[in-house]
């Protein structure tokens, strides 16, 4: 089976649903299930719920906000999940968004350097090399991935992390990510094939393609209001969308079907599988399916739709 991962709902769900989603993904043979993080939900805590409900599937975060935890606290949480899961934890780290961090009084500083420092520090706490700790937990290393929407972040991933976690990338942008990761890896004397290339793929599965597009516009419109994603949308070739939004157009109305087809999987299962192939051909190693409802569907129903579509 090809590598494929998925996530739980972006805005959180019940612990009962988290368990059911993890079991569904595991039964389908998916490689991993990750948890997003929007306060007051904790991605690391959710990963532990996944771990306790499953036996084989990797579990982790997509992504944990580095500004909300001291590195030693994040390391401790990740190691606990690593122990509970028997070595299946993947720690995805990101900087979140300025509008969100501003609400909590967070000064983000230089994003690249803050992330570099955080990854280096947390790795030292996990592997026991930090002089600040007297004890080392005897557990396998926890892979550390970083979220990134720019080529500079991809270079950083090549330098210091085990993988990149992007979102709303097009196949052509994935190719640029691959090259940027390679550049960073070579700079650090590493092999590029050691760094995983992942990308979140918003997925709206329905035989009613028109309804699927409508759901995609509503579901992704919010992202187009965040500065980082606005930059990403420009970087993948659609600056006119952001210009319309800044001129006051409703984000859901500004998103075009052409753009959505470039960054998302939309429509009947066969069409979604075909679109997925284009990302893999571009160099995407681990597609992360981001399930979204089309119409009124429960979290578990949406996941069953995803596993039914991509299970091999």
Nearest to 213 by CA among 153, 154, 158, 268: 268
Helix (H, G, I), strand (E, B) or coil at 97: coil
pLDDT at 199: 98
Regions of the chain short of the pLDDT cut 50: none
Phi, psi (rounded to 5 degrees) for 217: -65, -40
pLDDT at 103: 81
Residues 67 and 304: their CA atoms lie apart, in Å, by 34
Specify if 231 maps to a domain. Answer: no
pLDDT tens, residue by residue, 189-209: 999 999 999 999 999 999 999
pLDDT at 98: 78
Domain containing 175 — which CATH number? 3.20.20.30
Residues 300 and 275: their CA atoms lie apart, in Å, by 23
Percent of residues in the chain assigned helix, strand, coil, to nearest 5: 55, 15, 30
Specify if 13 maps to a domain. Answer: yes
Residues 6+ apart with CB under 8 A from 120: 160
Looking at residue 194, the DSSP 8-state letter turns out to be: G
Residues 105 and 225: their CA atoms lie apart, in Å, by 20
pLDDT at 2: 87
pLDDT at 232: 94
Instruction: State the virtual CA torsion across 16, 19, 25, 26 in degrees, nearest 10.
Output: -150
* Number of independent structural domains in the chain: 1
* Number of neighbours of residue 218 by Cβ within 10 angstroms: 14
Specify if 124 maps to a domain. Answer: yes
Report how far Cα 31 is from the mean position of its chain's Cα atoms.
14
Residues 168 and 289: their CA atoms lie apart, in Å, by 11
> Going by DSSP bridges, is the β-strand pair 144-147/163-167 parallel, antiparallel, or unpaired?
parallel
> What is the domain range of residue 51?
5-206+264-310
Specify if 294 maps to a domain. Answer: yes
Residues 6+ apart with CB under 8 A from 176: 151, 154
> Is this model's pTM higher than 0.85 or not?
yes
Specify if 259 maps to a domain. Answer: no
CA angle, 289 then 310 then 193, to 5°: 60
Report how far Cα 232 is from the mean position of its chain's Cα atoms.
15
pLDDT at 57: 98
Specify if 139 maps to a domain. Answer: yes
22: left (phi over 0), alpha (psi -120 to 50) or beta: alpha
Specify if 192 maps to a domain. Answer: yes
Residues 23 and 33: their CA atoms lie apart, in Å, by 10
- Cβ burial of 101 (10 Å; 0-12, 13-18, 19+) is middle
Owner of token pair 């990761």: 181
Per the DSSP assignment, residues forming a β-bridge with 93 are: 64, 146
Specify if 258 maps to a domain. Answer: no
């Amino acid at each position: 089976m090809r590598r494929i991962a998925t996530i739980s709902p972006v805005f959180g769900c019940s612990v009962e649903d988290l368990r059911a989603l993890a079991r569904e993904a595991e039964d389908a043979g998916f490689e991993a299930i990750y948890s997003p993080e929007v306060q007051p939900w904790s991605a690391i805590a959710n990963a532990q719920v996944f771990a306790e409900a499953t036996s084989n599937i990797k579990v982790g975060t997509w992504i944990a906000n580095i500004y909300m935890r001291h590195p030693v606290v994040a390391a401790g949480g990740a190691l606990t999940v690593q122990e509970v899961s028997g070595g299946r934890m993947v720690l995805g780290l990101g900087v979140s968004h300025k509008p969100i961090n501003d609400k909590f009084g967070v000064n983000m500083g230089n994003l690249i350097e803050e992330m570099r420092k955080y990854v280096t520090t947390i790795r030292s706490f996990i592997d026991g090399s930090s002089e600040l700790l007297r004890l080392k937990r005897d557990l396998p290393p926890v892979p550390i991935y970083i979220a990134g929407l720019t080529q500079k972040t991809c270079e950083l991933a090549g330098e210091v992390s085990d993988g990149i976690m992007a979102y709303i990338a097009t196949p052509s942008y994935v190719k640029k990510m691959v090259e940027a990761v390679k550049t960073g890896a070579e700079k650090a004397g590493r092999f590029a094939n050691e760094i995983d290339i992942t990308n979140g793929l918003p997925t709206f599965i329905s035989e009613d393609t028109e309804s699927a597009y409508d759901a995609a516009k509503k579901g992704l419109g919010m992202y187009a209001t965040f500065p980082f994603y606005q930059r990403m949308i420009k970087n993948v070739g659609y600056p006119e969308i952001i210009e319309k939004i800044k001129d006051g157009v409703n984000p859901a109305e500004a998103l075009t079907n052409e753009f959505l087809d470039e960054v998302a999987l939309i429509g009947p299962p066969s069409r979604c599988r075909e679109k997925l192939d284009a990302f893999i051909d571009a160099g995407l190693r681990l597609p992360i399916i981001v399930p979204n409802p089309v119409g009124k569907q429960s979290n578990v129903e949406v996941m069953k739709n995803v596993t039914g579509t991509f299970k091999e």
